[in-house]
Amino acid sequence: MKKLFLLLLCIAILGACKSKPSAPKIAKLELSEVSPSQKNRAYELGKRMLNACNTSKFKPFTKEEATEKVIQNVTLDKLSSTCRKFSIKYGKFEDIRLVEVIKNKADESLIFRYKADYQRKFAQKELQVTLDKENKVSSIRSTDWSDVYVP
């Protein structure tokens, strides 16, 4: 009887120690919840980068616009290489359309998801522009479009 009682007590303790689901680290925001200045900043910086593919001219990001990591990674050489590939495959860049904004609760950053429009419409590309707490671009990423956000 004592063994049965101890066994049940151990099971009860293990059940109580089970990890609880953590709160989601990201949340989709309504577009109206995001300030127009943040939307405009993300749009202008993202479009400026992709538009460089059409003009072959790129004004580098400043320390007020982007983090040091982004400034170092978005160079004219790297951008030119990517632009060549995109131009051959997708044609001329036309514009970006804001689809959703996601808040990363871990670092309070905002991820702006844009559909990128190109001359050739056979594939839909996505541009993600992430603004940190200081409204600086902390990352820019281009992927194939997915209706579900993939971090």
Domains of the chain by start residue, with CATH: 24-144 (3.10.450.590)
Q: pTM value?
A: 0.83
Q: For 141-151, what is the mean pLDDT? A: 91
pLDDT of residue 45: 96
User: Predicted confidence band at 6 (pLDDT cuts at 50, 70, 90)?
Assistant: very low
Helix axes 76-90, 36-55, angle to 10 degrees: 80
pLDDT of residue 47: 96
Asked whether 115 and 99 are in contact (CB, 8 A), the reply is yes
Is 142 or 16 the better-scoring residue by pLDDT?
A: 142
Rg (the chain; Cα; Å)? 22
One DSSP character per residue, 37-100 reads HHHHHHHHHHHHHHHHHHHS---PPPTTTB-HHHHHHS-HHHHHHHHHHHHHHH-SEEEEEEEE
Q: What is the pLDDT of residues 85-144, one digit of tens each?
A: 999 999 999 999 999 999 999 999 999 999 999 999 888 999 999 999 999 999 999 999
Q: What is the pLDDT of residues 43-69, one digit of tens each?
A: 999 999 999 999 988 999 999 999 999
**pLDDT of 7 higher than 70:** no
Q: For 78-82, what is the mean pLDDT? A: 90
pLDDT of residue 76: 86
